[in-house]
Structure 1
Amino acid sequence: MLPWLALQHTRGIGPVRAIRLHTKLGAQWYNSVQLAASGLSEEQLEQLQTPHLSILEPLLEWQGKAPNRHILSWDDPAYPEQLRAVSGAPLLLFVEGELSALPLPQIAVVGSRHPSYVGRENTKNLVPALAAAGAVITSGLAIGIDGLSHQATLDVGGTTLAVLGSGLDRCYPKRHLRLAAELASQGGALLSECYPWEGPLAHHFPRRNRIISGLSLGVLIVEAAERSGSLITARYAMEQGREVFAIPGARQNPQASGCNRLIQQGAKLVSDANDVLEELVAFSVAAIKVRPTATEELLPYPELLDNVGIETTAVDLIASRCQQPVQEVLTRLVELELAGWVEAVPGGYVRARRG
């Protein structure tokens, strides 16, 4: 690990140049006689020979505190191949959880930190289907779509990976400490390129996003505004040759504008899980088609339900569309809510997800 630590702390040598050195000079590049002739300055050569024991010792101490903690250098056999192939992949990757989950086929699911009702419902509908098809769901543990994706995967017994924008000892956000522990203990893992003791700094998160896309076969953007960190993940995915998927939304919804823009730029429009699975050769769509429920129930008050959509609809507007008294509509909406057909939300009602 020491040679990789030395590379991380040598000025003017980033991940791309470091990996180029490894590729050109071989696994023992740090002992190669050709190192001096590789275009490095005397200062850089001197920095490469610095042992950095002050960092190594706390890292080894962190690793030794739990059996499921791992420090993977770029040339470690356990380092995920999908990520290793990415230009500028992290030289060191810190992992807490199951290493066996890292090489499995992954689909990244990311989106707004403040999703709408529709965004939340789309996540709860699509993620379990992707997990059921055998995909590991990878996301960033953030509040909003990220956290919902991790939880929806765990709820169906799936495997999920979380890439942090902080060190693994400084889990961010703190409200997801329990979620982080749960996913690591249920066959998944937490990952970061930050040292375990580093806090969540602004510049960590764009770098985290390139790892999320780098680990994955494709990236699904559930809901994102025009200026969103999720679009950074999408851009990295495009640069890395990954598939990009986006769920469209109403133009009146500012949280959907980023997804709509991505679709205009060539991202695949997604309406169900098969739209994602059929583009990824790692999944046999012929064998794992996601099907609707076999039977359909008789709709109660169909003329009323027809006027309640997935966007919030005010009671007055529903009554106007149905041409029925407001009090009668309200009574029927309460019945429909108790039966699970609609859900009361601020400002009115929405259609509920059933089954």
Structure 2
Amino acid sequence: MRLHLTPGLGQRRLSNLYQAFGSVDEILAADPVTLYRRARLPKNIALAIPPADCSQLLRTAGELAAEGVQLVCRGNDNYPDLLDAIHDPPVLLYVRGRFPLPEGLAVVGSRRASPDNMRLVRDICRELAACDIPIVSGLARGIDTAAHLGALDAEGWTAAVLGCGIDRIYPQENSRLFQKIAAEGTLISEQPPGMPPKAGNFPSRNRIVSGLSRGVLVAEAAVRSGSLITADFALEQGREVFALPGPVQRPTCAGTNALLKEGAHLVTEARDIIELLWRKNYRPPSPEPLPDVDENLSETDRKVARQLGSSPLHIDEIVRKSGLTPMEVSAILLHLELQGSVVQLPGMRYQRA
């Protein structure tokens, strides 16, 4: 933290120092001339490194400790292995809540996501968290919020990587969610305490979101968006990329549809992710009791209705199981939906009401 709070010593210079010296202790033991020769650190910055007994440093450390914040340095035993293996791992993390964090799934997407995709992401994250898979996101509006809430619904583990200091809440509307994650999950930041949410912090934050995870799910992202930056980081880091399909007319789905064209894994339910990355974690959800199929329906209508339960089923699977033609199944599903006995979900999926 002495290095982190040094004026002029930003993330890039701090990473260069770590690469040159290999440990924080070695950096702090070096004189200004050695710091310049080995890492090109300007003398004025080297002389500005605060001493260990600096009053501001001790006050800040005390405030963080009072909030339950711990410092996790690169090279510590509890520094995440996945994150340590990326191209530019953060030298220092400020962490509040449960730690160390197991390998999880990153979930990112539009701040202006549609209600349908918000519900779908929340459902997917709820099922993933119920299978002991941590959900990693960025506490932003929209998809990030839905992802965190889904994990908390299942009393699972969720981590929020912040684009500001660990002592700042952004956006303010998520202050209750911030406190709930602090109490039940994990808050993480590489920014020094007091750092406001500057636009330049968020792309670097995204590399940590993907770096902590085995894979990244992109839900409803425009062609030029921070979510696609996260997907790029994921590809560079060798992570699996997943995407939700969306209507081609919706601008906020253009990015996810482009990812699918480029080979991202198509996702319509949690099982699509679990079977690829966490097969051993899969536990089929307990079936909920459903009302009997209406005996007043025709035989073909009952044949389709019997295929549906509390878990969503894609229309292609309904066709396969019922033995009817796609046109017959589409007409029957529309009839059942108008009756109120069937609900259509995004991605041409259906379930009993």
Normalised by the size of structure 1, how large is the TM-score? Answer: 0.76
Partner of 2:21 in structure 1?
Answer: 22
Instruction: Quote the offset at 1:39 in angstroms.
Output: 3.9
Unaligned runs of 5+ in 1: 311-320, 323-328, 344-349
Instruction: Quote the offset at 1:177 in angstroms.
Output: 0.9
1:202 maps to a residue whose letter is A
2:148/2:158 contact within 8 Å kept: yes
Q: Structure 2: how far apart are the matches of 1:147 and 1:270?
A: 19
Unaligned runs of 5+ in 2: 306-313, 315-329
1:272 maps to a residue whose letter is E
Partner of 1:227 in structure 2?
Answer: 224
Partner of 1:138 in structure 2?
Answer: 136
Q: 1:164-209, CA deviations, whole angstroms, 9 ceiling, x for partnerless residues?
A: 11112220011111111112212x1111112221211111111111
Choose from 154, 157, 168 the match for 2:155: 157
2:64 maps to a residue whose letter is Q
Q: Structure 2: how far apart are the matches of 1:11 and 1:166?
A: 14
1:14 maps to a residue whose letter is R
Q: Structure 1: how far apart are the matches of 2:214 and 2:39?
A: 35
Q: CA RMSD in A?
A: 3.6
2:75 maps to a residue whose letter is D
2:124/2:150 contact within 8 Å kept: no
1:99 maps to a residue whose letter is F
SS of the residue aligned with 2:42?
Answer: helix
Partner of 1:288 in structure 2?
Answer: 282
Moved over 3 A (4+): 3-6, 8-13, 32-41, 289-303, 350-355
| Structure 1 residues 77 and 4, CA gap change in structure 2 (3 angstroms) | farther
Structure 1 position 266 matched with structure 2 position 266: no
Structure 1 position 185 matched with structure 2 position 161: no
Partner of 1:113 in structure 2?
Answer: 111
Partner of 1:314 in structure 2?
Answer: none
Structure 1 position 240 matched with structure 2 position 237: yes
1:22 maps to a residue whose letter is F
2:17 maps to a residue whose letter is A
Residues 66-215 of structure 1 aligned to structure 2 (within 5 Å)? 66=67, 68-100=68-100, 102=101, 104-186=102-184, 188-215=185-212
1:93/1:192 contact within 8 Å kept: yes
1:4/1:73 contact within 8 Å kept: no
Instruction: Quote the offset at 1:265 in angstroms.
Output: 1.6
Instruction: Quote the offset at 1:141 in angstroms.
Output: 0.5
SS of the residue aligned with 1:279?
Answer: helix
SS of the residue aligned with 2:252?
Answer: helix
Instruction: Quote the offset at 1:274 in angstroms.
Output: 2.5
Instruction: Quote the offset at 1:262 in angstroms.
Output: 0.7
Normalised by the size of structure 2, how large is the TM-score? Answer: 0.76
Partner of 1:56 in structure 2?
Answer: 57
2:202 maps to a residue whose letter is F
2:82/2:103 contact within 8 Å kept: no
SS of the residue aligned with 2:193?
Answer: coil
